[in-house]
Amino acid sequence: MKTSNELVRNKIEELWEEEKLFLKTLGSFPSSLGNEKGIQQFVYNYLQDIGLETEVVAVDPDRLRKYENFGEPEWSYEDRPVVVGEWKNNGPKKGKSLILQSHMDVVNAEPEDQWETPPYSPVIKDEKMYGRGILDMKGGFAAIVMAVKALRESGIELGADLQIQSVIEEECTGNGALALLHQGYTADGALIPEPTQSRLIKAQVGVIWVRVKVKGAGAHVERAESAQNAIMKANKLMESLMEYREHINNRSKHPDFEHHPHPLNVSVGLIEGGNWASSVPTECTFEARVGFYPGTDPEDVKEEVEQWLLGAAEEDDWLKEAKPQFTFYGFSAPGYTIAKEEEIMEEMAASHYAVTGKEVEDLSFTATTDLRAFGEFDIPATCYGPSGGDMHAPNEYIELSSLKEVTHTIAEFILRWCKEK
Amino acid sequence: MKTSNELVRNKIEELWEEEKLFLKTLGSFPSSLGNEKGIQQFVYNYLQDIGLETEVVAVDPDRLRKYENFGEPEWSYEDRPVVVGEWKNNGPKKGKSLILQSHMDVVNAEPEDQWETPPYSPVIKDEKMYGRGILDMKGGFAAIVMAVKALRESGIELGADLQIQSVIEEECTGNGALALLHQGYTADGALIPEPTQSRLIKAQVGVIWVRVKVKGAGAHVERAESAQNAIMKANKLMESLMEYREHINNRSKHPDFEHHPHPLNVSVGLIEGGNWASSVPTECTFEARVGFYPGTDPEDVKEEVEQWLLGAAEEDDWLKEAKPQFTFYGFSAPGYTIAKEEEIMEEMAASHYAVTGKEVEDLSFTATTDLRAFGEFDIPATCYGPSGGDMHAPNEYIELSSLKEVTHTIAEFILRWCKEK
């Protein structure tokens, strides 16, 4: 007779065409910030169809603001719910309960003309599937859903509760993850199948966003010499921010990031200024993302960034009077670490070994994920997910062989963590 | 018995409240690029009401492209006509025919929160009227319309034809001015009451616009170190453009601009790049305006600017491969000069003296106006108009005392130039 693991492995292979189709469907929803309704509706229906007890939860920022990991939004949460599907074990608890979480929001696909195929019409070429969000992280979501489906269709009954959480705003605040935890959807452990290239996250940096508004003294370009060009003034501050980046990377490193040559990224992500070629712009606004080590308070980083840029402004006759204005919104995300000795790390490592025959590598991640929300709720959590490329860039893709392997590993992990009834 | 001049002067004083109201009304139309329909309809009706023979002419770029002064548009001309009102002399021609021309388009008023009063709700405070376009150049238009109205209401019959031309796109292409000239609306001389602070333009620089599109290699910010940030790359090119500005100003100066410390402005007017704080931007586009001396071919300047920036790109490992892309649209405007000995210059100087008791100053203008279109049609033309401040900037205003004085000067000039029947 076949073992449960063998049954599930066969089932995952059987479901492989369906898994690719499922991922393609997920990738067809342009679920960028504010546009998550459609995909969440689809996910809700799908989780119901595979037999989970499903609930839709609204994200209410006023209830979440108390959490350390809350990110201040500048938009409404209307029609932008989070979704959870529960597979309850109706018997004695033999294993540990588990959350499998993914975010359905994607960063937008502009400029779309840099894509070789349309970003929301996923295509497969040379065993890769291309599309916005296919890697980050609809692929991971396909893996957890198909792992669960394979377990259920193999007739397995788990020894503990399992949840699939489908959230929003991993890319900007983390408030989607908080909303379900706040609602009571907690567990003994959590796995997020972010695209880690089959590595296990043991640490991730913290991240804040800052918006810097620079004023100029506008004028007809005829008097450009006496005017103050807000765009050129913003350039100065952006260059200063690059010096800040070097400054913080030259400090002694956090132990988890010791071997990374340049762990703390500071990057300008968008800019907008002026409105007419023949006018000297009176305003220019740019936004940047600043990374920092676990253990640092995001509020301290905001203060440091603001003081650094005000220092640069002091060196400019105009900016020292017309001081730049700072807005901190979106990510206010502390770092996160988890000991390799935690049971979830060991079980994930064992699952990886069982499927691949190799020791898993760990990863100190130089960006943020929703892991930190689980940290705030004292739920041991890690990320482990598929391989691919060009995340947050045109022509994002997933390696399909990696997706299948990760699906197997996650199924293996569920059996080890939740155990059977 | 009163002379014609005395009658007209009294009439202008009588009409002063009406002139201010007329200017306020003009200023209430938000006639930025693409939004000129309303004001042109109003102007058409108004010119008809004061008894002129009025025609609406569509701007057809395909008919205008042959002119040296044509500027390539990136927009439609639907519902954006130019308007002309003619006061024909139905007798022997005793004087010279005259065009009084103004543009009704304004640069947009953003950021509106930097205005102390709403930009399209003109208000008078301390003998200044504030509003977008009030100075540049609806004030000048009010002056010519009221000067003509005063002449007509004084019972004067001119000794030559007079036209009032109300055009669009002085701020971006000059195609509005060309459209009426192409249609045959020419004359022996032309005056544009641009806000010259009662100075007489004898020369103006040429202007081109350039759009520079910079590509980066986008990525999730986690890999920002290996990505290429299009915004930071654009910064390099903008700084290089500032070096170009110094370069061209260090060359020997055109005689008309010899005494100007810095006649050739090069200014970045707008920028847009990236779309997400946590993504490394793959694209950044900026637009700049470049000035050059009369006598230089705009095409040569475009070539020089492109080569200069490509030279800067060569010094950057990324940009030398991912070369910036250049688009030249809008202004492709050669400079313009007129000899002080031209009759129109002498008559304007005499008119200024008659009204103010002072010698007029001449002006070598470091921006462009529609004068150059008249130059292309061999029509002697100059600018002379009111004083004020903050053109192309928030809180633009006109000095009302200057507006009235200019109205008198223009009426005086009409009598001198066109003569009486």
Q: Are residues A195 and A325 in the same domain?
A: no
Mean pLDDT by runs of 10 across the 421 residues of chain A is: 91 98 98 97 98 98 97 96 96 95 96 94 98 98 98 97 98 97 98 98 98 87 76 97 97 95 94 93 96 98 98 96 97 97 98 98 97 98 97 95 98 98 91
Final residue of a structural domain among B312, B333, B354 = B333
* Optimal mutation site among B72, B214, B276, interface A, most CBs of chain A within 10 A: B276
Q: What is the C-alpha separation between A136 and B45, in angstroms, rounded? A: 60
Instruction: Judge: B392–A366 Cβ closer than 8 Å, yes or no.
Output: no
Indicate if the pLDDT at residue B225 is higher than 70: no
Q: Which member of B229, B331, B365 has the closest CB to residue A268?
A: B229
Among A172, A277, A288, whose Cβ lies nearest the Cβ of B288? Answer: A277
Instruction: Write down the pLDDT at residue B1.
Output: 73
Name which of A108, A220, A292 to mutate to probe chain B: the one with the most chain B Cβ atoms within 10 A of its Cβ.
A220
A212 and A182 in a common domain: no
Q: What is the pLDDT of residue B223?
A: 65
Q: Answer yes or no: do B291 and B392 share one domain.
A: no
Number of CB atoms found within 10 A of residue A242's CB: 16
**ipTM score of the complex?**
0.90
Measured between beta carbons, which residues in chain A are less than 8 angstroms from residue B172?
278
* Per-residue pLDDT reduced to its tens digit, B199-209: 999 999 999 99
Same domain, B143 and B223: no
3-state secondary structure at position A204: strand
CA distance A170 to A137: 10
Q: Which residues of A touch B283 (CB under 8 A)?
A: 110-111, 114
Statement: residue B191 has pLDDT above 80? yes
Distances (CA, A) of B196 to A60, A123, A222, A246, B139: 57, 61, 12, 50, 12
pLDDT of residue B156: 96
Chains A & B: contacts with CB separation below 8 Å? 216
Of A224, A235, A272, the CB nearest to B238: A235
Tens digits of per-residue pLDDT, B362-391? 999 999 999 999 999 999 999 999 999 999
Q: Judge: A392–B262 Cβ closer than 8 Å, yes or no.
A: no
Q: What is the pLDDT of residue B416?
A: 98
| Reduced 3-state DSSP string for B324-359 | CEEECCECEECCEECCCCCHHHHHHHHHHHHHHCCC
B268/A281 touch (CB, cutoff 8 Å), yes or no: yes
Closest CA to B288 of A106, A267, A297, A232: A232
Q: State pLDDT tens for residues B97-111.
A: 999 999 999 999 998
The reported pLDDT for the residue numbered A388 is 97
Answer yes or no: do B177 and B224 share one domain. Answer: no
Shared domain for A401 and A274, answered yes or no, is: no
For residue B217 the two structure tokens come to 């290699």
CA distance A195 to A177: 17
For residues A234 and A342, what is the distance between their CA atoms, to the nearest angstrom?
46
Bridge partners (DSSP) of residue A55 are: A84
User: Residue B15 has which token pair?
Assistant: 């009409």
Report how far residue A198's alpha carbon sits from residue A387's, in angstroms, rounded to the nearest whole number: 7
* Cβ contact, residue pair A392, B218, below 8 Å: yes
Residue A90, pLDDT score: 86
Tell me the β-bridge partners of B220: B279
Token pair of B213 as six digits: 């599109």
Residues of B in contact with A238 (CB under 8 A): 231-232, 235
Residue B67 CA to residue B46 CA, distance in Å, equals 31
Q: How many structural domains are present in chain A?
A: 2
As a whole-number percent, the residues of chain B with pLDDT over 90 amount to 94
Query: What pLDDT does residue B220 have?
Result: 67
Do B139 and B335 touch, CB atoms closer than 8 A? no
Contact check, Cβ <8 Å, B269/A365: no
The verdict on a CB contact (< 8 Å) between B269 and A281 is: yes
Q: Are residues A41 and A165 in the same domain?
A: yes
Residues on chain B touching A265 (C-beta within 8 angstroms): 221-222, 224-225
> Which chain A residues touch B240 with a CB distance below 8 Å?
none
Residue B391's CATH number: 3.40.630.10
Closest-approach residue (CA) in chain B for A133 = B220
**List of E strands, A50-155:** 53-57, 82-87, 98-103, 123-125, 128-130
> B56 with B140, same domain?
yes
Q: Minimal Cα–Cα distance from A137 to chain B, Å? A: 13
What is the span of the domain harbouring residue B327? 206-333
Contact A108 B276 (CB under 8 A): yes
User: What is the chain A residue with the closest CA to B264?
Assistant: A222
Confidence (pLDDT) at A327: 98
Contact: A221, B289; criterion CB under 8 Å: yes
Distance CA B254, CA B291 (A): 12
Contacts of B221 in chain A (CB under 8 A): 265, 267, 269, 289, 291, 367, 392
- As a whole number of angstroms, the distance between CA A124 and CA A23 comes to 11
Domain match, B248 and B117 both: no
CB contact under 8 A, B282 and A136: no
Nearest C-alpha neighbor of B18 from the set B154, B127, B145: B145
Between chains, do A278 and B172 touch, taking CB under 8 Å as contact?
A: yes
Specify the pLDDT at position B219.
67
Contact A270 B390 (CB under 8 A): no
- Do residues A184 and A221 both lie within one domain? no
Residue B91 pLDDT level (bands cut at 50, 70, 90): confident
Cα separation of B320 and A408, whole Å? 45
**Which of B310, B333, B356 represents a domain boundary (last residue)?**
B333
Which has the closest alpha carbon to A313: A248, A228, A224? A228
Tell me which chain B residues have a C-beta less than 8 angstroms from the C-beta of A114.
Answer: 215, 218, 282-283
Residue B2: what pLDDT?
84
Residue B347 scores a pLDDT above 70: yes
Which residues of chain B are within 8 Å of residue A292 when distances are taken between CB atoms?
A: none
User: Is residue A282 within 8 Å of B111, Cβ to Cβ?
Assistant: yes
Tokens matching residue A12: 């995952």
CA separation for the pair B29, B24 (Å, rounded)? 9
Q: Check CB contact under 8 Å for A209 and B277.
A: yes
Q: Which residue, chain included where needed, has tokens 């704080």?
A: B277
Q: Give the pLDDT band of residue B222 (cuts 50, 70, 90).
A: low
Which of B270, B277, B284 has the CB atom closest to A288's CB atom? B277
Beta-bridged to residue A123, according to DSSP, are A130
- Tokens representing residue A131 in the block: 């599309």
Which residue matches tokens 């940009």?
Answer: B319
C-alpha R_g of chain B: 23
Q: How far is CA A389 from CA A24, A26, A207, A386, A399, in A?
A: 17, 18, 22, 10, 8
**Do residues A247 and A152 both lie within one domain?**
no
Residue A253: which CATH number? Answer: 3.30.70.360
Provide the 3-class DSSP secondary structure of residue B366.
Answer: coil
Q: Looking at the complex, report in whole angstroms how far the Cα of residue A50 sits from the nearest Cα belonging to chain B.
A: 33
CA B168, B170, B173, B175 torsion-angle sign? positive
The 3-state DSSP class for residue B209 equals strand
Instruction: Give residue-wise pLDDT tens across range B263-314.
Output: 999 999 999 999 999 889 999 999 999 999 999 999 999 999 999 999 999 9
pLDDT band at B129 (very low <50, low <70, confident <90, very high): very high
Clarify whether residues B257 and B391 are in a common domain: no
Which one-letter DSSP state was computed for residue A32?
A: B
Shortest Cα distance from B194 to chain A (angstroms)?
A: 13
Q: Tell which of A312, A333, A354 closes a domain.
A: A333
